């Protein structure tokens, strides 16, 4: 059966029943139909969190979200009070190359069509709030420019992949200037949305957004344009976390969706803390490989939210590791110990980062396929144990929570035993360059960092700005490699990271460094997923979404 056939055959429970499993009352719910709701309350617990991350993604597929869902279902089968906290899918990847982002097989969150397509309107609200500010900037300039805005650095946003919007000219005929669009998942309003602790913090952060500089080189903010109140009003419903369920009826908060390669890659703090207030165990994930999503979760989100995971799961597949060992995708399912030994160091680096840099308990989840040889799995068991990580098999795509029980048992054991305090990859008091270098050398394994002229100029300005001291760094980098060159697979060494541009995100509260060829607006592939989608005009059934 396909993912959508499995999902269609599943009988979902009313969202009020799902909420009741966590002790959420109907008065704390704002229902969006029978199977979706916004949660308006907070519980009294302080549950433990497990972070699910992965090796660098490959065309062979790793299944991080699928394993996250299967792990939560597995913990539920052990009788644990558990829920998920995941990101919302962006329409860009859904209609582009990646497709939907609600898991697969018998480990899915539902209703998956709704979640992948618009959901409860959060992304639209974020896009609109972003573009309201953009329109108020240009209107202010047109209406006399009382603030003396000279340079605009704030960009418009759209939740679709469109490379033609990477560079545009706006205001033609009256106030013409260069501009560009970022994809919504990479815009600063998304980061603000996901890092705000409540609506008051949201409004403050929106007001702090720096939109450009005036004729004297001083920063101009959204608050100075009096845009912060209206932006907050647009987001007042979206900021409430969304509650859905897995196919097995495990509660799932799905809220916020920044990419991890060009943004900070974590679901909202509000959703995570709400989940922790109702459940004893919370399974959350961070985007792409551990060098991106996990690093940003640990160095940025954990600092801002004041939380730390009690365990980290690193997801890998044998075929993904063989691909890292330079085996073509079509041959990655075949037994090949030599290729596995060549590609496995990618996994080992991620494990070492978790156990040695961040000082956290680690479990490796092998997302198992029927073609996986036992001897190759045993090799990974032995090698990961040397690095302080237990290896468990996850067969959740085919068996759901039952196939995640072994992993769930290991994770619960690690979480219950975790008492130490995590470390970070850098100290907030370091210089901007030192923080970037720490991430590059410790987490990526780089030899050093190089800076292009534009980045050097911006860093010099930011270093003189007291507001930029003690801020974390958010590094935008290709997801396909530990380096900033997507062709360098496995565990490259001796490479330099090149920082092309640097941005100050005052509302988000971090500094962004763009490396290599990374862009903030993706493009569609030669054959985008949108071309293969069909809808039954009588039943409304969609095919090709998954």
Q: What span, in angstroms and rounded, lies between the C-alpha atoms of 527 and 450?
A: 36
Q: Per the residue annotation, which of 369, 398, 413, 442 is the catalytic one?
A: 369
Q: Per the residue annotation, which of 36, 64, 296, 301 is the catalytic one?
A: 64
Is-catalytic flag, 153?
no
Report the run of H or E that residue 302 belongs to, with start and end.
helix 302-305
Is-catalytic flag, 142?
no
Q: Per the residue annotation, which of 85, 260, 506, 508 is the catalytic one?
A: 260
Q: What span, in angstroms and rounded, lies between the C-alpha atoms of 538 and 345?
A: 51
The edge-to-edge listing of strands for the beta sheet with 473-476 is 448-451, 496-505, 510-515, 473-476
Q: Per the residue annotation, which of 123, 154, 193, 288 is the catalytic one?
A: 288
Is-catalytic flag, 134?
no
Query: Using an 8 Å Cβ cutoff, are 495 and 330 in contact?
Result: no
Tokens of 486: 């997507």
Q: What span, in angstroms and rounded, lies between the C-alpha atoms of 443 and 350?
A: 8
DSSP string, 487-522: T--SS--S-EEEEEEEEEETTTTEEEEEETT--SS-
Adjacent-strand bridge partners of 450: 498
Q: Per the residue annotation, which of 42, 45, 98, 329 is the catalytic one?
A: 98
Query: Using an 8 Å Cβ cutoff, are 488 and 482 in contact?
Result: yes
Is-catalytic flag, 54?
no
The size of the chain, in residues, is 546
Query: Using an 8 Å Cβ cutoff, are 503 and 492 in contact?
Result: no
Q: Per the residue annotation, which of 21, 36, 87, 399 is the catalytic one?
A: 87
> DSSP H helical segments within 117-237, as ranges?
122-142, 188-195, 199-208, 228-235
Q: Per the residue annotation, which of 123, 397, 495, 510 is the catalytic one?
A: 397
Is-catalytic flag, 288?
yes
Is-catalytic flag, 316?
no
Is-catalytic flag, 154?
no
Direct distance between the N- and C-terminal alpha carbons of the chain, in angstroms, rounded to an integer = 12
Q: In sequence order, what are the residues at sequence separation of 6 or more whose Cβ sits closer than 8 angstroms to the Cβ of residue 489?
A: 56, 323, 324, 325, 326, 343, 346, 480, 481
Q: Per the residue annotation, which of 49, 65, 66, 128 is the catalytic one?
A: 66
Is-catalytic flag, 64?
yes
Tokens of 105: 């097989």
* C-beta contacts of 3-7 below 8 A and 24+ residues apart: 3/100, 3/104, 3/105, 3/108, 3/112, 3/546, 4/112, 4/542, 4/543, 4/545, 4/546, 6/105, 6/106, 6/108, 6/247, 7/108, 7/110, 7/111, 7/112, 7/247
- Which positions are annotated as active-site residues? 64, 66, 87, 98, 260, 288, 369, 397
């Amino acid at each position: 059966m396909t993912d959508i056939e499995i999902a269609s055959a599943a009988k979902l429970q009313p969202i009020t029943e799902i909420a009741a499993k966590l002790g959420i009352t109907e008065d704390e719910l704002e229902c969006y139909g029978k199977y979706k709701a916004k949660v308006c309350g907070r519980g009294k617990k302080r549950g433990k969190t497990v972070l699910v991350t992965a090796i660098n993604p490959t065309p062979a597929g790793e299944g991080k979200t699928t394993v996250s869902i299967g792990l939560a279902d597995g913990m539920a089968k052990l009788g644990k009070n558990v829920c998920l906290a995941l990101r919302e899918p962006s329409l860009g990847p859904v209609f582009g190359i990646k497709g939907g982002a609600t898991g697969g097989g018998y480990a899915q969150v539902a209703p998956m069509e709704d979640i992948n397509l618009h959901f409860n309107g959060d992304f639209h609200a974020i896009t609109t709030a972003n573009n309201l500010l953009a329109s108020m900037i240009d209107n202010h300039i047109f209406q006399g420019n009382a603030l003396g805005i000279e340079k605009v650095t704030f960009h418009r946003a759209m939740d679709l992949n469109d490379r033609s919007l990477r560079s545009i000219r706006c205001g033609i005929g009256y106030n013409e200037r260069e501009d560009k669009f970022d994809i919504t998942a990479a815009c600063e309003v998304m980061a603000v949305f996901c890092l705000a602790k409540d609506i008051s913090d949201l409004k403050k952060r929106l007001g702090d957004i720096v939109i450009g500089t005036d004729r004297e080189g001083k920063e101009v903010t959204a608050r100075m344009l009096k845009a912060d109140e209206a932006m907050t009003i647009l987001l007042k419903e979206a900021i409430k976390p969304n509650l859905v369920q897995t196919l097995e009826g495990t509660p799932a908060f799905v809220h916020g969706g920044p990419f991890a390669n060009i943004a900070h890659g974590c679901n909202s703090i509000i959703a995570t803390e709400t989940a922790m207030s109702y459940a004893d165990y919370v399974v959350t994930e961070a985007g792409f490989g551990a060098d991106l999503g996990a690093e940003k979760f640990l160095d940025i989100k954990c600092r801002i939210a004041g939380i730390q995971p009690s365990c980290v799961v690193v997801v890998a597949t044998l075929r993904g590791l063989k691909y890292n060992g330079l085996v073509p995708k079509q041959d990655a399912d075949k037994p090949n110990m030599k290729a596995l030994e060549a590609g496995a160091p990618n996994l080992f680096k991620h494990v070492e980062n978790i156990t040695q840099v961040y000082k956290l308990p680690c479990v490796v989840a092998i997302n198992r396929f029927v073609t996986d040889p036992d001897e190759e799995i045993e090799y990974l068991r032995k090698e990961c144990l040397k690095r302080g990580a237990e290896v468990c098999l996850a067969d959740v795509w085919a068996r759901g929570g039952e196939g995640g029980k072994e992993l769930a048992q290991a994770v619960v054991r690690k979480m219950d035993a975790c008492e130490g305090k995590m470390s970070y990859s850098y100290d907030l008091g370091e210089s901007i360059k030192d923080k970037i270098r720490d991430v590059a050398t410790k987490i990526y394994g780089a030899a050093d960092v190089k800076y292009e002229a534009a980045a050097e100029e911006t860093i010099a300005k930011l270093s003189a700005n007291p507001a930029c001291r003690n801020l974390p760094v958010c590094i935008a980098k290709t997801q396909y490699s530990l380096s900033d060159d997507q062709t360098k697979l496995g565990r490259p060494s001796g490479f330099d990271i090149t920082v092309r541009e640097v941005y100050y995100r005052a509302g988000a509260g971090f500094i962004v460094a763009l490396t290599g060829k990374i862009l903030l607006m993706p493009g569609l592939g030669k054959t985008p997923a949108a071309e293969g989608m069909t809808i039954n005009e009588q039943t409304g059934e969609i095919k090709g979404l998954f």
